[in-house]
Structure 1
Amino acid sequence: MLKQEIRAFQGRFGRAVLFDTNTPVVEHAHSQCHVLIKCGGADGHYYVCDERAPFRDDTIVLVNPWMPHRNPRRAGGPASRVLALYVETVWLSERSADVTSGRLKPFARPSAPISTLIRSLADHLAATMISGDSSEVRLEEILYDLIDQTLSSYATGKARSDLPRSTTTLDYRIRRAIAHMRDHISKEVEMSDLAQIAGLSRSRFFELFRSCTGVSPRLYMDALCIDVAARTLASTTHPLTEIARRLGFSAPGHFSRFFQQHTSVSPSDYRKAAAALRQNGGIPILDATRNEAPY
């Protein structure tokens, strides 16, 4: 039986979240490179673009940016301890010449055997996050080592996606719609309004948007909402009611359910987890006003 643990660490690299969960996760996508490592509890699996990815002590799950994925676990079953890394591609491109923001598809496969070194680094990071007695610098050292080893072990410069490098290479109509989405990050934004902004029929807009980005407009907006919510929860004391309202949810309960369905963690637990590391490790408050997103 796992003792319930939730820890969240955010920085320029992205975010690292350690949590115990026995709830399913709906299909969603991220702008970041996403790595999932089991650190205890029950085995399971994810689906990455409908390809089954085992989630066990001896495997690692690897999700490229904007690749839809989900976890169909049975609600209320045995819990798993998950170490989830969300690594910003811009940050990666600055650390490695082999990773070009938005263009490179780092991982050729959604799952692979985990190496002894990466297993050790993941367990060390999880234990350090739980103990909360290390400095931000030390926590970052372990985390950066884990990210670097994961990339050197599993990334391939030959595997490229069809995703464009930046908005300058996108179809100008989709670029216009995405600019509006980034300026109005909210669940209230209607897809038909975005199609009108793009100057396209609804069906053509959905088709072209998916062709350009790899995901639907709704999944794209959901990803923007989750990023802003996580950043705001970790770095401000804004009430959940206010965060829900700003992101276009009609009730705080709808926002809480949305956040948990996409992350396996409730908004209040995520906030407490981030605060615990800040208080114990001296991790500074972040700027939650920067609604950064690719494209």
Structure 2
Amino acid sequence: MLTSEHAICINPWVEHAKSASEDTPSLILSLVIEAPWLRTQLQLADGGTAQIFPQHAVVVTPDVRHHVDRIAAAITNHLVAQDEHCMHILEDLVTALGRDFADPTLTAGMTPSGRPVDFRIRKALDFIKHAPVANPTVAQVAAQVGLSRSRFFEQFRRCMGVSPQHYIDWVRMSHAVKLLGASDQPLADVAAELGFEEHSHFTRFFAQHMGVPPSEFRRHSVNLSTPKQ
């Protein structure tokens, strides 16, 4: 059960949902974090962002609680979109989460399973990252790196901790979030740019992964990017 002393750590790219609370309304802060930034912040290997947290249910430490309260204060005082120092609050929170709850066996150059990332999987990751609009199938990515679909699926899941389709969807979602936050394009144009034939298909895809339709996400989103040096 979630309380002020308990939290749930969900690993990247894992689909999840929250049931409605019967007693009191819920207020959810959803952070869409870029994987390269997260890897750098937690000092993880390239591609090592799948199985960060070995335990899902955790007891909130005083330091994590402190940084959560700092973010809450920045939001309620409308500082997030105005003060570049708010980025440091997020950095401090993620660092605390990694220190207190991440798998301590994670090491640079290795996957969470302790195995090096296969060079063909690295090639597949690069191909997927640069083809969010094309929305390639698992079979197409497998052919791109010279593996059968079944062998590619097995290798990808072993190295990354998630299925290829989970990763493809995550990359597409990340691109959608960027488009929604960086422009005021009509949603139909965003859907078309992402390769969806119908606006309704994009809305269903986005809501399935984010829990809210793209129109609502845009209304309540704040783009907090790293300040320029």
The TM-score bracket by the shorter chain reads: 0.7 to 0.9
* Equivalent residue number for residue 198 of structure 1: 145
Determine what percentage of the aligned residue pairs are the same residue.
28
8 Å CA contact 2:188–2:199 kept in 1: the answer is: yes
* Equivalent residue number for residue 102 of structure 1: 47
1:171 Cα deviation (Å)?
A: 3.9
* Equivalent residue number for residue 118 of structure 2: 170
8 Å CA contact 1:103–1:162 kept in 2: the answer is: no
1:231 Cα deviation (Å)?
A: 1.3
* Equivalent residue number for residue 179 of structure 1: 126
Counterpart of 2:184 in 1: which secondary structure? coil
1:264 Cα deviation (Å)?
A: 1.6
The amino acid of 1:58's aligned partner reads E
TM-score, normalised with respect to structure 1: 0.61
Call closer, same or farther: CA 1:113–1:228 in 2, change over 3 Å. same
Query: Deviating runs (4+, > 6 A) in structure 1?
Result: 75-78, 283-286
The answer to whether the aligner puts 1:128 opposite 2:74 as a matched pair is: yes
Structure 2 unaligned residues grouped into runs of 5+:
none
Structure 1 unaligned residues grouped into runs of 5+:
1-53, 287-295
8 Å CA contact 1:59–1:113 kept in 2: the answer is: yes
* Equivalent residue number for residue 243 of structure 1: 190
8 Å CA contact 1:240–1:252 kept in 2: the answer is: yes
Q: Distance between the aligned counterparts of 2:59 and 2:23, measured in 1? A: 25
8 Å CA contact 1:125–1:143 kept in 2: the answer is: yes
Counterpart of 1:195 in 2: which secondary structure? helix
Q: Distance between the aligned counterparts of 1:164 and 1:271, measured in 2? A: 39
Call closer, same or farther: CA 1:74–1:187 in 2, change over 3 Å. farther
Q: Distance between the aligned counterparts of 1:250 and 1:242, measured in 2? A: 11
8 Å CA contact 2:48–2:160 kept in 1: the answer is: no
Encode CA deviations 1:247-281: one digit per residue, 9 max, x unaligned.
2212112111211221123212222223xx57xxx
* CA RMSD, Structure 1 to Structure 2 (Å): 3.4
Counterpart of 1:196 in 2: which secondary structure? helix
TM-score, normalised with respect to structure 2: 0.76
Aligned positions, number = 221
The answer to whether the aligner puts 1:267 opposite 2:218 as a matched pair is: no
1:133 Cα deviation (Å)?
A: 4.3
The amino acid of 1:196's aligned partner reads A
1:90 Cα deviation (Å)?
A: 3.8
Counterpart of 2:29 in 1: which secondary structure? strand
1:95 Cα deviation (Å)?
A: 4.9
* Equivalent residue number for residue 167 of structure 2: 220
Counterpart of 2:113 in 1: which secondary structure? coil
